């Protein structure tokens, strides 16, 4: 199946969720997306993208020029904790280790992020990110900041331009949810590691970095 089935007269059109994997591969290949580089280094696989489409987490759009774009809505959360001595901690994702041995270093200004599911609100997506990735459920303060948007070539899917609609939040957690040594999230294909940084106050010698 080729792009013309979804794109008539160069109108903007969405590739349907019901697309088959072989059809998706054919469309991406026709668009000169370098699929041979996917699943290597920092890149995800075609199966990851297929899952995003099926779950309503991402839309593939064919624009008026016939180029394929990935569109996602993302909730991002900066997680902080202030201890009894007034020391302020900020959480960050340190790295991902894939089951095949690949290591993906992470350096984001936010602690966690989560793509929206279908019909999910920004706050629901943000709170789900804390629950699923960090097992954090009790939040003292959860504040939404101003949304923003950007477009970039995705590191996860080389050659595929990704349009992000970002909905940022800050979350303050109490001592009940605070794990000084950080958090570990086990997924089917990888393990994610989160660590705390001191942003104000002393640096306890037993804090793992």
Q: What's the pLDDT at 41?
A: 85
Q: What's the pLDDT at 66?
A: 84
* Token pair of 43 as six digits: 């890149």
CB count within 10 Å of CB 172 equals 15
pTM of the model: 0.78
- Residue 74 backbone class (left: φ over 0; alpha: ψ -120 to 50; beta: rest): beta
In angstroms, the Cα distances linking 88 to 7, 81, 83, 197 are 52, 6, 7, 9
* Token pair of 109 as six digits: 């200004």
pLDDT digits (tens, 9 = 90+) for 98-137: 888 989 898 888 999 999 998 899 999 999 999 999 999 9
Using pLDDT thresholds of 50, 70 and 90, give the confidence band for residue 209.
very low
Residue position matching structure tokens 């089935």? 5
pLDDT digits (tens, 9 = 90+) for 135-175: 999 999 999 999 999 999 888 999 999 999 999 999 999 99
Using pLDDT thresholds of 50, 70 and 90, give the confidence band for residue 1.
very low
Q: Indicate the fold that domain 3-199 takes in CATH.
A: Nucleoside Triphosphate Pyrophosphohydrolase (3.90.79)
Q: What's the pLDDT at 200?
A: 82
Asked if 152 and 166 count as a contact pair (C-beta separation under 8 A), the reply is no
Burial class (CB within 10 angstroms; exposed 0-12, middle 13-18, buried 19+) of 69 = middle
- Residue 86 backbone class (left: φ over 0; alpha: ψ -120 to 50; beta: rest): left
pLDDT digits (tens, 9 = 90+) for 9-66: 345 789 999 999 999 999 999 999 999 999 988 899 999 999 999 999 999 999 888 8
Q: What's the pLDDT at 173?
A: 98
Q: What's the pLDDT at 160?
A: 94
CB count within 10 Å of CB 79 equals 27
């Amino acid at each position: 199946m080729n792009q013309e089935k979804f794109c008539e007269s160069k109108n903007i059109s969405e590739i349907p969720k019901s697309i088959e994997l072989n059809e998706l591969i054919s469309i991406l290949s026709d668009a000169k997306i370098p699929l041979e580089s996917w699943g290597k280094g920092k890149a995800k696989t075609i199966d990851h993208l297929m899952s995003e489409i099926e779950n309503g987490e991402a839309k593939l759009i064919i624009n008026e020029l016939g180029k394929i774009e990935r569109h996602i809505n993302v909730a991002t959360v900066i997680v902080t904790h202030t201890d009894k001595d007034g020391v302020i901690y900020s959480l960050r994702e340190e790295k991902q280790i894939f089951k095949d041995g690949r290591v993906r270093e992470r350096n984001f200004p936010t602690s966690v992020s989560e793509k929206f599911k279908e019909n999910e609100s920004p706050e629901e997506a943000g709170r789900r990110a804390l629950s699923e990735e960090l097992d954090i459920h009790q939040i003292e303060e959860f504040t939404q900041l101003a949304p923003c948007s950007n477009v970039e070539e995705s590191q996860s899917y080389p050659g595929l331009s990704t349009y992000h609609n970002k909905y940022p939040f800050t979350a303050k957690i109490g001592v009940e949810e605070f794990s000084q040594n950080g958090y570990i999230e086990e997924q089917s294909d990888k393990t994610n590691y989160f660590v705390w940084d001191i942003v104000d106050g002393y640096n306890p010698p037993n804090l793992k970095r």
